[in-house]
Copies of this chain bind each other. A is one copy, B any other.
């Protein structure tokens, strides 16, 4: 039961991390009816600061990477990032009583990448003496950002269809006496099909993805290192802790929503990291046999897929899918997903790589 004790140790340490500490702090503050509040203007600015930092660090990492060599793994990272969200959309979201937007947001968070899980994997790879490409860690934004964008777009499509169905339902009632139902049927269906691109565009114009993509573009095309190192990066963890406090304050009000579905989130959060890691490991092996991508790099790709973001994800999803319940996605990720990826995922993929190397 070495794994279980490792898992519990990590779980307890996670509970004491500032990120989760402030989240729980916010929940307690709301539970005791405190009048503590973070002004809305501050909250919006904090989200902006966090997202532009996530974008900038991704953009800088991509700009400094060897794009020609990393092309195939990067494409695979994008594919896996999008795939993870679709897997969640058609598994977790279909479970009984699970709310679709909550499930999509959770899948988005599991598609996004945890920098600290990645750092842990890099440390272990170095300890084990397994070689990997210097640019392999720069694969993370190729999975992180597409996963978050996909989740926000899928949620918008879903919400928009719901609204349409509601409109149609209302229309049906209004017009039922006038036999207008059949006449409306076809245009509505077509409307639904042509509507996807406007929704994608609208999602990208939203404040969350705009800030993320603006940061990405600035990181790629300009030299924002001075301002990144002196301002956006040092303030990141502190601002994140305040965002967590706000999200905790909201979570208290919405935690009861999860009472009947908690077991599904726990199940998903346990299985998903391992599954995502194996899918990415498979893609990585294709790159290994075709372009000579190192086995260490394959492990990194798998760990990136197995990890779930407790950093870039929450602010993006909070602003991009405001109707989703933060207790669902943050709870699933930090309480179960991350410990599973760290204590179970990393040793599995490294063991697999070592077995393949020995072979």
**Chain A interfacial positions (CB closer than 8 Å to B):** 15-18, 20-22, 24-25, 28-29, 32-42, 44-45, 48, 204-207, 210-211, 214, 217-218, 221-224, 226-227, 230-232, 234-235, 237-239, 241, 245
Additional A-B contacts beyond A16-B223, A21-B218, A22-B218 (5; CB < 8 A): A16-B221, A20-B222, A21-B221, A230-B238, A231-B239
On whether the beta carbons of B35 and A205 are closer than 8 Å, the reply is yes
Whether A37 contacts B230 by the Cβ 8 Å rule is: no
Q: Is the CB of A36 within 8 A of B222?
A: no
* Bound Cα distance A93, B207 (Å): 38
Q: Indicate which residue in B20, B41, B205 contacts A32 across the interface (CB closer than 8 Å).
A: B205
Q: How far is the CB of A41 from chain B (nearest CB, A)?
A: 4
Mind listing 7 A-B residue pairs with CB under 8 Å? A17-B222, A35-B210, A38-B48, A39-B41, A40-B41, A231-B235, A231-B237
Given contacts A21-B218, A36-B211, A211-B36, contact A237 B230 (CB under 8 A): yes
Is A48 in contact with B21, judged by CB distance below 8 angstroms? Answer: no
A25 vs B219: C-alpha distance in the bound complex, in angstroms?
11
| Most chain B Cβ neighbours within 10 Å, of A18, A29, A234 | A18
Closest to A235 in B: B231
Q: A34-B207, A36-B210, A45-B42 are in contact. Are A241 and B235 (CB under 8 A)?
A: no
Tell me which residues across on chain B come within 8 A of A231, comparing CB atoms. Answer: 234-235, 237-239, 241
A226 contacts across to B, CB distance below 8 A: 18, 237
Q: Which of B41, B48, B204, B239 contacts A41 (CB 8 A)?
A: B41
Contact of A21 among B34, B224, B245 (CB under 8 A): B224
Which one of A21, A211, A217 has the greatest number of beta carbons of chain B within 10 Å? A21
* Alpha-carbon separation in the docked complex, A222 to B218 (Å): 36
Closest 4 CB pairs of A and B: A231-B238, A21-B222, A39-B41, A34-B210
Measured between beta carbons, the chain B residues less than 8 angstroms from A218 are 18, 21-22, 25
Closest to A237 in B: B227
List the B side residues contacting A38 at CB < 8 Å. Answer: 45, 48
Residues of B within 8 A of A25 (CB): 214, 217-218, 222
For A221, the chain B residues whose CB sits under 8 A away are 16, 21
A36 touches B237 (CB 8 A): no
Contact of A18 with B223 at beta-carbon distance under 8 Å, contacts A25-B214, A32-B205, A34-B207 already known: yes
